[in-house]
Amino acid sequence: MKRVVVTGVGAVTPVGNDVPTMWANLVKGVSGIDRITSFDASLFASQIAAEIKGFDPAAYLGPKEIRRTERFVQLAVASAKQAVADAGLALEKENPFRVGVLVGSGMGSLHLIEEQHSLFLSKGPDKISPFMIPMIIVNMAAGQVAISLGAKGPNSCPATACASGAHGVGEAFRIVQRGDAEVMIAGGTESCVTKMAVGGFCALMALSRRNDAPAKASRPFDKERDGFVIGEGAGLMVLEELEHATRRGARIYAEMAGYGRTADAYHMTAPDPDGAGAAEAMRLALEDARLNPEQLSYINAHGTSTELNDKIETRAIKQTCGASAKRIPVSSTKSMTGHMIGAAGGVEAIISCLAIHHSTLPPTINYEHPDPECDLDYVPNQARQARVDSALSNSLGFGGHNATLVFKKFRG
């Protein structure tokens, strides 16, 4: 198997429209959550979200491309171009069939469906856009990233709800390991802060209703958590075969070393109360990385701020890590970014690599009331300087999809 390294990162998130800004705000504990501005949310039980601020697609796409792409695609293209630039990759010098793209997305474009359905009801079927179908389908992010970069290698789109971005990174890792590509641009994207998405999650009673204090609403592992906060964003990384990266003198953030994936086979939306599926995904990823739990430096938790997820993920960490669980720092950056659904795993994989690269653990903000069922070290409220030799990132999706990624400090 080939060794795989991370050489470039790109992201557009509620706490920054590029990786340096995002990281600086995460370390400072800045929340990207506020009242919804993209539509009138006054009728909804939850009126808050982690929206992206000030994103200009014209910095990455031409006018015609902007008209023919939805926001989740634009965010992915922006993140991909950032990541390639950060990696210093001159793609015109690469064999295009050895460069691939995997971008996960959970929902694609609900916004355009809502818009076109309204148009259909008011003006009839003849007014439906001929671009509606290619604009809404979830694989279009991966397709448009490949078009924008000229990447003709393996191309796909995992759609596993909240685990989509992590599966994108994990499957891309396997492609490079096998030698099926030398470079993969991988991660996740999502833009579902829309009326129907917010309404649907409200109907599930899944969202926080802390409308009077948006920045305090996402509080993973805190006893007074009352649901997650929906967010939007994209996070893509360049995964590169080590010899290829070394030949061109690339800067390396971390080595990707492990990937585990399982299914709960339990319920549409609720996690297995035993945490067995998540625990096994972590165990498989650590085994793949040839790490013992006592060698693990940091866990970026799925940590959604829901009653069930936080205590069951804590239970799963204890099952996997045993006596080491209480020693390993765990944080949920969703306390600041909100839950970006299909983008979450991609962004959090980047954050895990940055924790290694910068020897810094991002905090779990809003951790104020300890929950007896959530009793690990959640890096409460303030970032922490620490030696980070390895990092594990969990993503757990509706439908029981579990994905775990492991990164290590690169040592030649």
Check if 357 is active-site.
Answer: no
- Return all residues near 220 (Cβ < 8 A) that are at least 6 apart: 301, 303, 304, 305, 310, 332, 334, 335, 364, 366, 367, 378
Decide: helix, strand or coil at residue 202.
helix
Q: What burial letters (b/e) apply to 141-179, b meaning 16+ CB within 10 Å?
A: bbbbbbebbebebbbbbbbbbbbbbbbbbbbbbebbbee
Is 162 designated active site? Answer: yes
State the burial class of residue 257 (Cβ atoms within 10 Å of its Cβ: 0-12, 13-18, 19+): buried
> Which one of the listed residues 111, 167, 302, 357 is annotated catalytic?
302
Choosing from 111, 167, 244, 339, which is the catalytic residue?
A: 339
For residue 157, indicate whether it is catalytic. Answer: no
Catalytic residue among 157, 162, 202, 321: 162
CA 15, distance to chain mean position in Å, is: 13
Rounded CA gap, 168 and 178, in Å? 16
Q: SS3 helix, strand, coil % of the chain, rounded to 5?
A: 40, 20, 40
Ranges of beta strands (E only) in 21-136 are 34-35, 48-49, 99-104
- Answer yes or no: are the C-beta atoms of 389 and 408 closer than 8 Å: yes
* DSSP secondary structure code for residue 18 in this structure: S
Residue positions annotated with a catalytic role: 162, 302, 339
